[in-house]
Amino acid sequence: MKSSHSLDYIVVAAYFLVVSFIGLWAARRKKRTTDDYFLANRRMPGWIVGFAVVGTMISSVSFVAHPGAAFARNWWLIVPNLMVPFLLILVVIFVVPFYRRVVRMSSYEYLEKRFGVLARLYGASGFLLLRTIDLAFTLLLTAIAVEVVTGWDIRLVILCLGLFTILYTLVGGIEAVVYTDVLQGFALATGALSVLLIILFRPEGGPAAVISTAYGGGKFGLGDFSFSWQSLFGEHPTFWILALSGVLHFSRAYMTEPNMVQRYLIARSDRDAQRGVMAGALACLPIWLTFAFIGSCLWAFFQLTQQNLPDEVLQKPDNILPYFINTQLPPGLVGLILAAILSSCNSSVSSDLNSVGTVVTQDYFVRAVPGSSEQTRVLFGRCAVAVTGILCICIAIILLSARAKALVELIVTLGMIFSGGMLGLFALGFLSTRATRRGAYIGTSICLVFILWSTITGPLKINLGFNFNMHPIMIGVFSHFILFITGYFASLIFGGYRPELTGLTIGSRKEAEIIQSAVLPGLTTSS
């Protein structure tokens, strides 16, 4: 750290001690079954579920990306996140009770019931690949931020942070994960508020001067509001493209991904699950907005104080908040903010590691070895957590190399291919009573061909004569619609197997009754 002040190290050490205590405390509670280890025996109250949702959706990347984007341009990066409130009613009323009725542990169990085992394995494989990529990048970006603040060796940070997170996730299971989510919530709030107060009150003129300067510099804008066909081909996506991608991204996150569905299942009742999801999702929005606001105010701060920023910060705006922490905050507070950054990383990484362990165990091992004991399944899940964590550490260290750019593009491309159209596949099952297994497989195949072609000719810039020239974000947008539409019409044209649909589609009489009483205290009383 800038001053290597002992107080900062004491604060960081205290954080690690608290997390270690949580992990050991959770480990003392016996994890005899997969329900114990992955779902906390379905006994969590709503407020814990809320913190768990925040821990899943907020990572240390929020400390870096949102302030950096607002500092460099404006609030364009926050636009997709603004779509969350519009999805909440659907998720809380329909999706949460639906999954609590239909699946035991993994959202991909539903795909097998609706479209067969290949659909389940397709979904699970895409999730595992994406989570591995995301975990590696989360570790890497957190380590970069820590290096800027402390000067510690970045490889050592990745290794220690990764191993520590693996260890307490391994021994404590989902209980250790969700209780560290609570710690993250308090660390985030304290850290963000402390930084914001210094940014607002240190320059001459106080908050009014900071906010007016940022406003005058266009730092509170939400991007380009133009609405035209040409806007699909621009270098920077417009507000409307970002909004649409946000709707689809968070629909996929809340309606299909096991790490979020797991949060629905750990609750002790439907009502606790619904209240927790509502509270947690709504809490994420002010957190995202706060970090965007911090980025805008940081731009004004350096304008008003007339301080020259180093080239590495100007060229990489994501480093602006770590740089501010390192150069402007007093001893003790630096350690507090660093603990908040580490807490966000630990929380999101442990959440994803536990979900990966759940998917590997439930969607692969249990299917392959249905007669295995619960103890064997828990042991296998722990091994999956450890192996995935070590793999992510290795990938994060590899990505440090400047020569790894092509590898990054390859991994991201593979992730897009294997996760292609996942929301479209789930929507086909949720919404259509006519969709068949054959139609779903045809739609998935067509979607994969589209993603492969558009990725090769678009982001990878390989000329095939007929190329995808729109903004890359549109690949993900189109993929869901392509799978849903082609899968639906292929079902009508080619037919195929369709299971008994009772309880497998959304929109039944039960959901209609829930809508009629769609106020939080009376959403549902089932357990």
Q: Of 3.30.1130.10, 1.10.357.10, 1.20.1730.10, 1.10.10.60, which CATH number belongs to 6-400?
A: 1.20.1730.10
Residue type, 407: L
Instruction: Determine the straight-line distance between the first and last CA of the chain, rounded to whole angstroms.
Output: 50
How far, in Å, CA of 119 to CA of 95, rounded? 19
Chain CA centroid to CA 247, Å: 14
Question: What six digits make up the tokens of 33?
Answer: 């079954």
Q: Which residue has the tokens 């913190």?
A: 51
CA contacts within 13 A on the Cβ side of 296: 26
Confidence band of 179 (pLDDT split at 50, 70, 90): confident
Contacts of 134 (CB under 8 A, 6+ apart): 352
**The most confident of 264-273, 308-317, 498-507, by mean pLDDT:** 264-273
Contacts 24+ apart (CB under 8 A), 375-379: 375/32, 377/33, 377/34, 378/31, 378/32, 378/33, 378/34, 378/36, 378/37
Does 524 have pLDDT greater than 70? no
By residue count, the chain amounts to 527
Q: Residue 464: what pLDDT?
A: 86
Mean pLDDT lowest for which of 42-51, 242-251, 516-525? 516-525
Burial class of residue 473 in the structure, from the number of CB atoms within 10 Å of its CB (0-12 exposed, 13-18 middle, 19+ buried): middle
How far, in Å, CA of 89 to CA of 508, rounded? 16
Question: What six digits make up the tokens of 180?
Answer: 């560290």
Q: Which residue has the tokens 């994501």?
A: 318
Q: Residue 419: what pLDDT?
A: 66
Reduced to 3 states (helix: H, G, I; strand: E, B; else coil), residue 396 is helix
Residue type, 10: I
Over range 90-100, report the average pLDDT. Answer: 92
How far, in Å, CA of 507 to CA of 352, rounded? 30
pLDDT digits (tens, 9 = 90+) for 334-350: 888 888 888 888 888 88
Contacts of 140 (CB under 8 A, 6+ apart): 158, 396, 399, 400
Over range 60-79, report the average pLDDT. Answer: 87
In sequence order, the β-bridge partners of residue 44 are: 267
Query: Do 343 and 204 form a contact (C-beta atoms < 8 A)?
Result: no
Q: Residue 213: what pLDDT?
A: 94
Question: What six digits make up the tokens of 56?
Answer: 């899943």
SS (H, E, C) 299-347: HHHHHHCCCCCCHHHHHCHHHHHHHHHHHHCCCCHHHHHHHHHHHHHHH
> In 10 A of CB 516, how many CB atoms?
7
Confidence band of 447 (pLDDT split at 50, 70, 90): very high
Q: Which residue has the tokens 């722990």?
A: 382
Does 383 have pLDDT greater than 90? yes
Q: Residue 55: what pLDDT?
A: 82
Does 97 have pLDDT greater than 90? yes
pLDDT digits (tens, 9 = 90+) for 135-168: 888 888 888 888 888 888 899 999 999 999 999 8
Confidence band of 231 (pLDDT split at 50, 70, 90): low
Question: What six digits make up the tokens of 229?
Answer: 């066909």
Over range 204-220, report the average pLDDT. Answer: 91
Residue, of 125 and 461, whose pLDDT is higher: 125
Domain parsing of the chain, residue ranges: 6-400, 418-522
The C-alpha R_g of the chain, in whole angstroms, comes to 23
Residue type, 494: F
Q: Residue 313: what pLDDT?
A: 82
Query: Do 318 and 65 form a contact (C-beta atoms < 8 A)?
Result: yes
Contacts of 523 (CB under 8 A, 6+ apart): 92, 93, 270, 271, 274, 275, 514, 517
Q: Which residue has the tokens 């442990």?
A: 350
Confidence band of 3 (pLDDT split at 50, 70, 90): very low
Query: Do 338 and 151 form a contact (C-beta atoms < 8 A)?
Result: no
How far, in Å, CA of 81 to CA of 72, rounded? 18
Residue, of 96 and 332, whose pLDDT is higher: 96
Distances, alpha carbon 168 to alpha carbons 124, 246, 374, 385, 392, in Å: 24, 32, 21, 11, 16
DSSP string over 157-198: HHHHHHHHHHHHHHHHHHHHHHHHHHHHHHHHHHHHHHHHHH
Q: Residue 267: what pLDDT?
A: 93
Among 10, 3, 2, 4, residue whose Cα is nearest residue 336: 10
